[in-house]
A and B are shown apart, each in its own frame.
Chain A
Amino acid sequence: MADPLPPTSTNEPPPDPVFVAARREALVILGAWATCLVWCITTCVVLGYGDSSGDVTLILGIPHWVFWGVVVPWASAGVFSVVFATFFMKDHDLGPDRMIEDAERTTRDNADSAEGDDA
């Protein structure tokens, strides 16, 4: 069965750079998501589950397991997101928009048919 992956032969066009960059960025994002999942669940379960004695340690008025398990990773994820979007993600030309081209063609066709009707 032929594999339709983008060709690597010199006669074939190279892979679309937007596709390549977007795929790389998507993998980094999935890694960030998985890191946050492990951090939050592990910290909250270890520090915050099962102790309902009411004797909770507070940091800035927040239960310590919420502070270390949610607030700190949230702040870290925020910083990562800003750095990632600002410096890691690449800008690309996304190409011509067929929607606009189709609309212009329709407008031209309508104008032509109107002229034909007038004639």
Chain B
Amino acid sequence: MPDALPSTTCLAAGATAASPSALITFAVYTLIVLSLAVISHRLIQRRKAFLGEYYLGSRNLGPWTFAFTFAATVASVGSFGGFPAKIYTHGWILALWIASYMVFPLTTMGLLGKRLNQVARKTGAITLPDLLRGRFNSPLIGVVVSALMLFFLSSYLIPQFKLASLMLKALLADVAFYQQAVAVVGQVTGPDSWFGDDPGYLLCLVVFALAVVFYTSFGGFRAVVWTDVLQGCVMLVGVVVLLVLTTRLAGGLDSATKELAAQSPPQIGEVELEWVGDPDEVKPLRAGRLIQHTTNDGQTKRLIRINVDAAFVKSDGRLTAKVKAVLINNEAYIAKTYPSVETLPDVRVTSTDFKPFASGAGEVGAYTSGPGPDPRPTQVDGFLPVGVAVSFFFMWAISGAGQPGNMVRLMAFNSTRTLRRGIVIVTLMLGVIYLSLVIIFCCARNLIPGWEANPDNAMPALCVFVADAVNQPWLAGLLVAAPFAAAMSTVDSFILMISSSVVRDLWQRNSKRPVSDKAVKRASYLVTAGIGVVVLLVAMNPPQFLQDVIVYAATGLAVCFLVPVALALYWPRANTFGTLAAIAGGFFAHLSLYVTNWVMFDAFSPYNLLGVSPIIWGLAASLIVGIAATLASPPPPREQVRRFFCA
């Protein structure tokens, strides 16, 4: 229920001003990425096997490039957007949520790597559909796998484009040059246009898409790998710098965790603001602003943070804005910050509507114990009940082995020595990145509280806060470049996989007439660029349920491909029928749990049957159906078994 606020409530700036240094840092980074694409393009022209070079770097990756491209692809935008947001919202329990990453390099590289690379060499495969088609000598498998990859990867790309654009927008929000450009874009597109109603988002989306599409289509796999190495370095350096500065600003980890242990979850809701100044001078309030709030008795001083931009619109003769906000209850922060909050006399708060967390509300210590607090009404048992914690051990370490993006990289290393060294390097990299992120964002709860209504902003908000606190504005550009690099490194490899599915698996392999090298080259460049442009257009008006689409696509890829590929590599009895059955079993079992949830709760999100994630049901169904169908059908030809399983 809304509670009325005294009219003396005033506003204050909570965000910090960025400087052009952030824009310059970011521009330099982008220029380096584009230069790498040009160098890679020149190399492609010299190679005999265009397709092999363009889509797989001629299967010649060494240990460092292999490790960095693997790690960068794994650390998608979710690692720097969604994961920090979860740590910020739920606290230390995220250490257990992500714990299976301790064996992630072993399971994702060691389980299939050696055999995958060997079978790819035997069949001449440069894509996953290519590999399964060659292994079973079945064009049908090639077409089915290609179609599924197109479906899942395209679904996955759209949210990645959106999240990357939002990050760029947050980084540049206060840069004067950017604001002028946004004004121009706004005038060109006009209000309520097909391009959406946010010219800032549109501008960032177009800049991001053009950069990625250019370097991916122009430079191919090698450009993607080189930029992955650069992006991996940026991520690693960004996280380490952020770890050192954040723990220092929080007064050390010991002090930060003690302060966190004394907190209970805040209340989340909406606040209504009214512009009471000159109507001709009305201007929006930026997300992150702090509002001083005194209770009706005038005794308790509280702080409210608005979590999204507040744009005032005319309603009943008044200029008002209703926005997501959080009622901060971190007493230490309030005592330190309240007096210095800058007031805004032209704006007043008319009403607020805050609700407590569904679990953990009022519990001191909720952020330092399991199962962790959760604001979602459906999560009354807490964020991570034991059954869900077990599911995440499958979700990351096992399903990661079934991701086509990882498999393609396993087909690209040059020797088993590279694989062994790659496992060591990726183990160290992921350990540093993920454990550091948990510490950083547990500290961030103390430094920048009140982002729970829009926690995806926690990462850019912390970067700007830290850069401002140490008085190094260029640092914000470098720090935000880390998640941006993660988005780029995922998007580029996915665009290339979709393109290879179309050009190699659906067109060249099924063409009745031989396709010339020149035609293949032209098609590869055009299809890669075309996919980027199509995703750009869809992302201008992205569909709802973005986060759920990401989860559905990522887990869907694993349930469709992990078991069939593992059986193809390790089971001589595996055959075409069993492989197709395993794919279908995983796909439909997984999909049915999403459909069930849709029918029961009218929401496109996973239905955890018996408290277990759909990915585990999907993998189980794929395994059982695949083995049963294989045993019920004739064995593969003896010659095929000898080719892949005998010396």
> B-contacting residues of A (Cβ < 8 Å)?
1-7, 12-19, 21-23, 25-26, 29-30, 32-33, 36-37, 40-41, 44-45, 48-56, 58, 60-63, 65-66, 69-71, 73-74, 77-78, 81-82, 84-86, 89-92, 94-104, 106-107, 110
> Which residues of chain A come closer than 8 Å to B645, judged between CB atoms?
5-6, 15-16, 19
Chain B binding surface SS class: helix
- In the bound complex, how far is the Cα of B569 from the Cα of A25, in angstroms? 13
Contact, CB under 8 Å: A84 / B416: no
Beyond A4-B635, A94-B114, A99-B124, 13 extra complex contacts between A and B, CB < 8 Å: A4-B573, A5-B573, A22-B118, A25-B110, A58-B258, A85-B424, A89-B114, A89-B420, A89-B423, A91-B417, A99-B56, A100-B49, A100-B52
- Given that A19-B645, A61-B256 are contacting pairs, would A54 and B99 also be in contact in the complex, using a CB cutoff of 8 Å? no
Bound-complex Cα distance A17 to B118 (A): 11
Q: Report the separation of the CA atoms of residues A101 and B124 in the bound assembly, to the nearest whole angstrom.
A: 8
B46 at interface, CB cutoff 8 A: no
Given A70-B99, A94-B415, A104-B48, residue A63 in contact with residue B369 (CB < 8 A): yes
Cβ-neighbour of B59 out of A19, A62, A99 (below 8 A) = A99
Cross-chain contact A62 with B415 (CB below 8 angstroms): no
Q: Contact between B428 and A13 (Cβ–Cβ < 8 Å)? A: no
A-B contact pairs, 13 of them (CB 8 A): A5-B573, A14-B647, A32-B103, A48-B369, A49-B371, A51-B365, A63-B257, A69-B96, A77-B106, A82-B427, A84-B423, A98-B124, A104-B49
Within 8 A of A (CB), among B22-63: 48-50, 52, 56, 58-59
B424 touches A52 (CB 8 A): no
CA gap between A29 and B398 in the complex, in Å:
11
Question: Is A103 a contact partner of B48 (Cβ separation < 8 A)?
Answer: yes
A interface, by DSSP: helix, strand, loop or mixed?
helix
- Using Cβ atoms and an 8 Å threshold, which residues of chain B touch A100? 49, 52, 58-59
Q: Which residue of B lies closest to A88 (CB)?
A: B420
- Asked whether B420 lies within 8 Å of A85 as measured between CB atoms, the reply is yes
Minimum distance in angstroms from A72 CB to a CB of chain B:
10
Check A13 against B102 for contact (C-beta < 8 Å): no
Query: Which residues of chain B in 90-135 are interfacial with respect to chain A, using CB atoms and an 8 Å cutoff?
Result: 92-93, 95-96, 99-100, 102-103, 105-107, 110-112, 114-115, 117-118, 120-126
- Is B118 within 8 A of A74, CB to CB? no
Cβ–Cβ < 8 Å partners of A91 in chain B: 415-417, 420
Is B572 close to A, CB under 8 A?
Answer: yes
Top 4 nearest A-B pairs by Cβ distance? A61-B253, A103-B49, A98-B124, A54-B365
Task: Determine if A65 and B370 form an interchain contact, defined as CB atoms under 8 angstroms apart.
Answer: yes
Output the nearest chain B residue to A7 by Cβ-Cβ distance. B646
Inter-subunit contact A54/B638 (CB<8 Å): no
| Shortest distance between the CB of B364 and any CB in chain A (Å) | 4
Residues in B with CB closer than 8 Å to A23 are 570
Closest Cβ of chain A: how far from B10's Cβ, in Å? 33
A78 and B114 within 8 A (CB): no
| A22 proximity list for chain B (CB < 8 A) | 114-115, 118, 569-570
- Residues of chain B within 8 A (CB-CB) of A51 are 365, 369
Contact call B52/A99, Cβ cutoff below 8 A? yes
For chain B, residues 244 to 261, give those with C-beta under 8 angstroms from any C-beta of chain A.
Answer: 252-258, 261
> Can you name the residue of chain A whose Cβ is closest to the Cβ of B632?
A1
- Chain A residues within 8 Å of B52, by CB: 99-100, 103
- Would you call A66 and B121 a contact (CB within 8 A)? no
Distance in Å from the Cβ of B210 to the closest Cβ of chain A?
31
Q: Is B82 an interface residue (CB 8 A)?
A: no
Rounded to whole angstroms, the CA-CA distance of A68 and B295 in the bound complex is 43
Q: From B262, which residue of chain A is reached at the shortest CB distance?
A: A54
Do the beta carbons of B99 and A40 come within 8 Å of each other? yes
Supposing A4-B572, A15-B646 touch, asked if A74 and B428 sit within 8 A by C-beta, the answer is no
Q: What number of B residues sit within 8 Å (CB to CB) of A?
A: 84
Which chain B positions have C-beta within 8 A of A77? 102-103, 106
Quick check: A63 and B368 within 8 Å, CB to CB? yes
Contact call B370/A12, Cβ cutoff below 8 A: no
Contact among A16, A44, A110 for B96, CB-based, below 8 A: A44
State whether B106 touches A32 (Cβ < 8 A): yes
| Cβ-defined partner of A13 (8 Å) among B59, B636, B646 | B646
Could you tell me if A81 and B122 are in contact, using CB atoms closer than 8 angstroms?
no
With A and B bound together, what is the CA distance between A12 and B226 in angstroms? 45
Q: Is the CB of A56 within 8 A of B369?
A: yes
Instruction: Verify A81–B105 contact, CB threshold 8 A.
Output: yes
The interface stretch among B148-156, B191-199, B389-397, B555-563 is: B389-397
Bound Cα distance A36, B49 (Å)? 43
Known pairs A54-B364, A90-B416; A3 contacts B573 (CB<8 A): yes
Contact residues in B for A17 (Cβ distance below 8 Å): 647
Do the beta carbons of A18 and B386 come within 8 Å of each other? no
Residue of B nearest to A12 (CB): B646
CB distance from B647 to the nearest CB of A (A): 5
CA distance A15 to B570 in the complex (A): 12
The smallest C-beta distance from A10 to any residue of chain B, in angstroms, reads 13
- Are A66 and B92 touching (Cβ within 8 A)? yes
Q: Mark B378-420, 1 if CB is under 8 A from A, else 0.
A: 0000000010011001000110000000000000000111011
B-side contacts of A94, CB under 8 Å: 114, 117-118, 121, 415-416
Residues of A within 8 A of B431 (CB): 74, 78
| In contact, B646 and A16 (Cβ under 8 angstroms) | yes
B364 and A53: CB pair below 8 A?
A: yes
Look across to chain B and name the residue whose beta carbon is closest to the beta carbon of A19: B645
Chain B nearest CB, measured from A31 CB (Å): 10
Q: Does B641 sit at the interface, judged by CB under 8 A? A: yes
B126→A99 contact, CB < 8 A: yes
B420 touches A1 (CB 8 A): no
Instruction: Please name the residue on chain B nearest to A49 by beta carbon.
Output: B370
**Contact, CB under 8 Å: A16 / B647:** yes
Least CB distance from B262 to A in Å reads 6
Cβ contact within 8 Å between A49 and B59: no
Residues of B near A54 (CB, < 8 A) are 261-262, 364-365, 368
B420 adjacent to A74 (CB under 8 Å): no
A14 touches B646 (CB 8 A): yes
Contact between chains at B646 and A44 (CB < 8 Å): no
Whole-angstrom CA separation of A50 from B386 in the bound complex: 11
From residue B67, how far is it (CB to closest CB) to chain A in Å? Answer: 11
Residues of A with C-beta under 8 A to B258? 58
B102 touching A95 by the CB < 8 A rule? no
CA distance in complex: A52, B110 (Å): 39
Provide the residues of chain A in CB contact with B369, threshold 8 Å. Answer: 48-52, 56, 63, 65
Task: List A contacts of B390 (CB < 8 A).
Answer: 37, 41
Most A Cβ at <10 Å: residue of B111, B117, B370: B370
Check B427–A25 contact: CB distance below 8 A.
no
